[in-house]
């Protein structure tokens, strides 16, 4: 392996920075950084096309406005290429809805690309320092930027998955209380829409935010059942989906809503109890691991070692 001095290492780092600067300059050329056909047509059809309106709103300029504007075409193309390479855009869209994020899949891919670039930069620094100090093998030093990029992309996806899982857990915990509150409101004489508005106004949890979105959609002219089904499809939580289905059926048939909501609240509490029992069973099995592999061998060792010591000493 060719030894790398400190000056050569800094030359590599500065060369990478120079290359990024040249790439940003090249991106401004008409072929790479010029407006596409969609960029030209979208502003003229925003009144009749919702995708066109969302397309005109996309601007990746949050971290650094000037740099984001210069590199937007290149970042968009790289984000699309990353989405094509990794796939699973439908799963990402589902997790974004479950996590309560309003960003698009393309925006998430751009963030994932940024995390990958940061990981590659850290890997390059580690590779440069390890090569200069000769503490890393040549193969590891060469693959460090690639490993860092992969770790950055995977870490961003894991963060989204963890955020979605945590929000679903909070919604599951809030569901029985919210349903009972709605049942009390309906029993007091309020309508279903008024009870939803009340929860959206006084609620501070995740389910209250979802009902705030539903109430806003109803105010724009969307039917209540359609807005509830859209919210259930966005969250994709079995307990909430079952509740929305029963509520929609009760609205269509004219059944008493308070009884339906009370029954759904009891079902949600039963599901929570079953989940707690399942978690307790898993924890009980997990507790056997330190007992069998740590405590029990030490107990046997303390019980047998004195006798072995006495026998070896000749008493």
pTM over the 0.75 mark: no
Q: What is the pLDDT of residue 30?
A: 55
pLDDT digits (tens, 9 = 90+) for 39-72: 778 777 877 777 777 766 655 444 444 455 555 5
Average pLDDT along the chain:
78
Closest CA to 132 of 219, 16, 5: 5
Decide if pLDDT at 97 tops 80: yes
Band (pLDDT 50/70/90 cuts) for residue 75 is: low
CA distance 124 to 152: 13
Closest CA to 233 of 221, 254, 217, 219: 217
Judging by beta carbons within 10 Å of its beta carbon (0-12, 13-18, 19+), is residue 92 exposed, middle or buried?
A: buried
Judging by beta carbons within 10 Å of its beta carbon (0-12, 13-18, 19+), is residue 238 exposed, middle or buried?
A: exposed
Q: What is the pLDDT of residue 33?
A: 47
- What is the DSSP code string of the chain? -----HHHHHHHHHHHHHHHHHHHHHTTSHHHHS--HHHHHGGGSTTT-HHHHHHHH----SS-HHHHHHHHHHHHHHHHHHHHHH--HHHHHHHHHHHT----HHHHHHHHHHHHHHHHHHHHHHHHHHHHHT-S-HHHHHHHHHHHHHHHHHHHHHHHHHHHHHHHHHHHHHHHHHHHHHHHHHHTT--HHHHHHHHHHH--SHHHHHHHHHHHHHHTT--HHHHHHHHHHHH--HHHHHHHHHHHHHHHHT--HHHHHHHHHHHHHHHHHHHHHHHHHHHHHHHHHHIIIIIHHHHHHHHHHHHHHHHHHT-
Band (pLDDT 50/70/90 cuts) for residue 315 is: low
Q: How confident is the model over 275-302, as a mean pLDDT?
A: 82
CA distance 214 to 210: 6
Band (pLDDT 50/70/90 cuts) for residue 248 is: confident
Percent of the chain having pLDDT more than 90?
0
Domains and CATH numbers, the chain: 6-165 (no CATH), 169-271 (1.20.81.30)
pLDDT digits (tens, 9 = 90+) for 140-179: 777 888 888 888 888 988 898 899 999 988 888 888 888 8
CA distance 87 to 91: 9
Q: What is the pLDDT of residue 77?
A: 64
281 Cβ neighbours under 8 A, 6+ residues apart: none
Q: What is the pLDDT of residue 62?
A: 45
Decide if pLDDT at 13 tops 50: yes
Q: Which of 91-95, 130-134, 145-149, 188-192 has the lowest mean pLDDT?
A: 130-134
pLDDT digits (tens, 9 = 90+) for 100-147: 888 888 788 888 888 888 888 888 888 887 777 666 677 777 788 888
pLDDT digits (tens, 9 = 90+) for 169-184: 888 888 888 888 888 8
């Amino acid at each position: 392996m060719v030894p790398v001095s400190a000056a050569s290492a800094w030359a590599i780092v500065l060369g990478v920075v120079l290359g990024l600067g040249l790439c940003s300059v090249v991106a401004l050329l008409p072929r790479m950084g010029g407006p596409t056909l969609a960029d030209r047509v979208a502003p003229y059809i925003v009144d009749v096309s919702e995708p066109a309106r969302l397309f005109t709103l996309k601007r990746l300029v949050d971290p650094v406005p000037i740099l984001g504007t210069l590199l937007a075409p290149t970042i968009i193309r790289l984000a699309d290429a990353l989405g094509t390479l990794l796939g699973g855009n439908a799963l990402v869209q589902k997790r974004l809805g479950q996590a309560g994020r309003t960003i698009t899949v393309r925006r998430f891919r751009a963030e994932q690309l940024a995390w990958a670039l940061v990981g590659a930069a850290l890997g390059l620094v580690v590779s440069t320092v390890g090569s200069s100090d000769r503490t890393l093998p040549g193969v590891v030093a060469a693959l460090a930027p690639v490993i860092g990029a992969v770790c950055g992309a995977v870490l961003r996806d894991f963060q989204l998955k963890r955020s979605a899982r945590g929000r679903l857990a909070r919604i599951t915990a809030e569901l029985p209380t919210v349903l009972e509150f709605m049942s009390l409101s309906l029993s007091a004489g309020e309508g279903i829409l008024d009870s939803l508005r009340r929860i959206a106004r006084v609620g501070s949890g995740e389910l209250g935010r979802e009902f705030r979105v539903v109430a806003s959609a109803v105010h724009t002219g969307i039917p209540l059942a359609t807005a509830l089904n859209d919210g259930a499809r966005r969250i994709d939580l079995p307990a909430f989906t079952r509740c929305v289905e029963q509520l929609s059926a009760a609205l269509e048939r004219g059944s008493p809503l308070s009884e339906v909501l009370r029954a759904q609240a009891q079902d949600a509490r039963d599901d929570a109890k079953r989940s707690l029992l399942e978690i307790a069973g898993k924890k009980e099995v997990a507790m056997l691991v330190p007992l069998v592999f740590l405590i029990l061998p030490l107990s046997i060792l303390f019980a047998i070692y004195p006798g072995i010591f006495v026998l070896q000493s000749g008493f």
